[in-house]
Amino acid sequence: MTTKIPPPIVAIVTALLIWVIAMVDPLGLFNLPIGMQVWGSVMIALTGIATMLTGVFAFRKSETTINPLKPEQASSLVLTGIYQKTRNPMYLGMLLILSAWAIFLGSTIAFMWLPLFVLFMTKFQILPEEMALQKLFGQEYSDYLLSVRRWI
């Protein structure tokens, strides 16, 4: 693996960076009607949590590892449920939660961290996972890569 940093730690660090930039850049703040900003961010965060949990439950149902630092220990390839729509629902869920956080804080400049999170996760987590799964599952995984998008 290229990274030894668990993805939840990457998401927490990104959330802290979003918070810091929102606090130091008052010019980049926006205000939506309070109900829209709060409830909108809550709904997006809940969608992110549901997306993550759906991915976790699919892995548990297939009795395979959810440890993102050891994809070579996967015992089966999960191709059903949410994995028919996205190859990385847990990371997509994290991205949704981070988006909700930026909306909740009302910081336009905080949104710059979101594509950086996607780039970091893709390069240092997803691509190494894909290489490990390719070795494990061969053509079946190659076919899956062609039929389902990495993020959405």
Is-contact 42 103, C-beta < 8 A? no
The reported pTM is 0.94
Give the residue-averaged pLDDT of 65-85.
94
Confidence of residue 141 (pLDDT cuts 50, 70, 90): very high
Residue whose C-alpha is closest to residue 16's, from 131, 136, 98 = 98
Structural domain boundaries of the chain? 7-21+34-147
- For residue 137, what are the contacts with CB-CB under 8 A and spacing of at least 6? 74, 77
> What values do phi and psi take at 107, rounded to 5?
-115, 115
Place of tokens 């997509």: 92
H or E, element range at 133: helix 127-147
59-92 burial: b if 16+ Cβ within 10 Å, else e: beebebeeebbebeebeeebbeebbeebbbbbbb
Give pLDDT, residue 1.
54
Confidence of residue 38 (pLDDT cuts 50, 70, 90): very high
Give pLDDT, residue 5.
92
C-alpha separations of 146 from 7, 84, 140, 142 in Å: 24, 11, 10, 7
